[in-house]
Structure 1
Amino acid sequence: MKLIVCILFVIGNISNNGKASLDSLVPMSTNILFEDTTKNADKSCYRPCKFNVKPRRCHYEFKIEPTILEDGRPALTVNGMTPGPPIHVCANDIVVVEVKNKVVGQDMAIHWHGVEQKGTPYMDGVPMVTQCPISYGSSYKYAFRASSPGTFFYHADSVHHQSDGVYGALIVNQPQPLEAHSSLYDFDRSQENTLIVAAKFPELMTANLEDSSQLKPSSLLVNGLEEDFKIFVLPSYAYRLRLINAIAIECPVVVTVDRHEMVVIATDGKPVKPVSTSRVQLYPGERMDVVVRASEKMGGNWMRVRGDGACGNLSASAMLLHQGFNYTAMLHDGKKETFAKDTDSGTQIYGQTLESIQDVPHNIVDRSLILSIDRHVLQFKDTDNDYRYISDAIPKKPFFPASLSLADKGVVQINHKSFLYPNVPLLMRPNDIKKEIKCSVGEKDQSKDPQCLLALNAQQGELLELVLLNEGFGSNDSYTFHMHGYSMQIVATMQGSDGKPFSKETFEQLDNDGKIKRNIQTPPLKDTVMVPNKGFTIVRIKLDRGGSWLLECRSCSLALPAALVVNVPESLPKSLLDSFPKCGDYRPPDVLLN
Structure 2
Amino acid sequence: MRFLIVSLFIIANVSNNGKASLESFLPSNDSILLSDTTKSSNKSCNRPCKFNVKPRQCRYDFEIKPTFGEDDRPALTINGQTPGPPIHVCLHDIIVVKVKNKIPNQDITMHWHGIEQKGTPYMDGVPMVTQCPISYGSVYEYAFAASSPGTFFYHADSVLHHSDGVYGALIVDQPQPLEPHAALYDYDRSDEHTLIVGTRFPELLTARLEDPSYIPPDSIIINRNEDYSKIFVIPGYGYRLRLINAIALECPLVIQAYRHVATVIATDGKPVQPVTTAAVKIYPGERMDVVIRADQESGGYWIRVSGEGLCEGLNTYAMLLYSGFNYTSMLLDGPNTDTESKLEDKETITGQELQSARDVPSVNNVKSIYLKIDRPHLKVKDDDIDFRYLSDAVPKKPFFPAALSLRDDVVQINGKNFLYPNAPYLLKPREVRPETICVVGEEKNNKQPQCILVLNAKLNEAVELVLANEGHRSNETYTFHMHGYGMQVVKTWENPGNTPLSKEEFHKMERDGLITRNIKNPPVKDTVMVPNKGLTIVRFTPTVGGSWLLECRSCSFSLPVAIIINVPLSIPKLVIDSLPSCGSYRPADVLLN
- Bucket of the pairwise TM-score, normalised by the shorter protein: over 0.9
In the TM superposition, residue 11 of structure 1 has moved relative to its aligned partner by 4.9
What SS class does the counterpart of residue 122 from structure 1 fall into?
helix
1:243 lines up with 2:235 in the alignment: no
In the TM superposition, residue 212 of structure 1 has moved relative to its aligned partner by 5.1
Distance 1:497 1:445 in 2: 32
Identity, % of aligned pairs? 60
Correspondence list, 1:486-565, <5 A: 486-565=485-564
Q: Which residue of 2 aligns with 1:3?
A: none
Q: Which residue of 2 aligns with 1:379?
A: 379
Q: Which residue of 2 aligns with 1:350?
A: 350
Correspondence list, 1:84-99, <5 A: 84-99=84-99
Q: Which residue of 2 aligns with 1:479?
A: 478
What SS class does the counterpart of residue 191 from structure 1 fall into?
helix
- The AA in structure 1 aligned to 2:3 is G
Distance 2:386 2:454 in 1: 24
More helix by share: 2
- Give yes or no for contact 2:38–2:53 (8 Å, CA) kept in 1: no
- Give yes or no for contact 1:237–1:295 (8 Å, CA) kept in 2: yes
After TM superposition, the score normalised by the length of structure 1 is 0.92
Q: Which residue of 1 aligns with 2:60?
A: 60
C-alpha spacing 1:381/1:117, structure 2 compared with 1 (3 Å): closer
- The AA in structure 2 aligned to 1:257 is A
What SS class does the counterpart of residue 590 from structure 2 fall into?
coil
1:311 lines up with 2:311 in the alignment: yes
- Give yes or no for contact 1:421–1:592 (8 Å, CA) kept in 2: no
Distance 1:277 1:151 in 2: 20
Report Cα offsets for 1:541-586 as digits up to 9, x if no partner: 1111100000000110112111000000100011111111111213
Distance 2:158 2:545 in 1: 24
Correspondence list, 1:247-266, <5 A: 247-266=247-266
C-alpha spacing 1:519/1:557, structure 2 compared with 1 (3 Å): same
Q: Which residue of 1 aligns with 2:434?
A: 435
- The answer for unaligned runs of 5 or more in structure 1 is 1-9, 14-19, 393-399
Distance 1:174 1:268 in 2: 16
After TM superposition, the score normalised by the length of structure 2 is 0.92
Q: Which residue of 1 aligns with 2:580?
A: 581
What is the root-mean-square deviation in Å for CA atoms of aligned residues? 2.2
In the TM superposition, residue 226 of structure 1 has moved relative to its aligned partner by 4.7
Distance 1:544 1:186 in 2: 36
Q: Which residue of 2 aligns with 1:395?
A: none
Q: Which residue of 1 aligns with 2:233?
A: 233
- Give yes or no for contact 1:423–1:588 (8 Å, CA) kept in 2: no
- The AA in structure 1 aligned to 2:228 is D
In the TM superposition, residue 290 of structure 1 has moved relative to its aligned partner by 0.2
Once structures 1 and 2 are overlaid, which stretch shifts more, 438-447 or 185-194?
Answer: 438-447
Report Cα offsets for 1:155-197 as digits up to 9, x if no partner: 0001111111100000000000100100000000111110000
- Give yes or no for contact 1:240–1:290 (8 Å, CA) kept in 2: yes
Distance 1:80 1:182 in 2: 36
Report Cα offsets for 1:340-392 as digits up to 9, x if no partner: 73131111000011000111111114310000000122135777x25563799
C-alpha spacing 1:76/1:388, structure 2 compared with 1 (3 Å): closer
Q: Which residue of 2 aligns with 1:29?
A: 21
What SS class does the counterpart of residue 192 from structure 1 fall into?
helix
In the TM superposition, residue 73 of structure 1 has moved relative to its aligned partner by 1.2
Once structures 1 and 2 are overlaid, which stretch shifts more, 34-43 or 109-118?
Answer: 34-43
C-alpha spacing 1:364/1:25, structure 2 compared with 1 (3 Å): closer
What SS class does the counterpart of residue 143 from structure 1 fall into?
strand
- Give yes or no for contact 1:246–1:285 (8 Å, CA) kept in 2: yes
1:591 lines up with 2:590 in the alignment: yes
Distance 1:266 1:284 in 2: 16
C-alpha spacing 1:459/1:512, structure 2 compared with 1 (3 Å): same
Q: Which residue of 2 aligns with 1:407?
A: 407
- Give yes or no for contact 1:490–1:524 (8 Å, CA) kept in 2: yes
What SS class does the counterpart of residue 77 from structure 1 fall into?
strand
Distance 1:34 1:138 in 2: 39
What SS class does the counterpart of residue 535 from structure 2 fall into?
strand
C-alpha spacing 1:466/1:129, structure 2 compared with 1 (3 Å): same
1:465 lines up with 2:464 in the alignment: yes
In the TM superposition, residue 297 of structure 1 has moved relative to its aligned partner by 4.0
Distance 2:385 2:149 in 1: 50
Q: Which residue of 2 aligns with 1:5?
A: none
C-alpha spacing 1:30/1:44, structure 2 compared with 1 (3 Å): closer
Q: Which residue of 2 aligns with 1:81?
A: 81
Correspondence list, 1:352-371, <5 A: 352-371=352-371
- Give yes or no for contact 2:122–2:130 (8 Å, CA) kept in 1: yes
Report Cα offsets for 1:263-290 as digits up to 9, x if no partner: 0000000000000001100000000000
- Give yes or no for contact 2:389–2:586 (8 Å, CA) kept in 1: no
Distance 2:479 2:22 in 1: 38
Q: Which residue of 1 aligns with 2:279?
A: 279
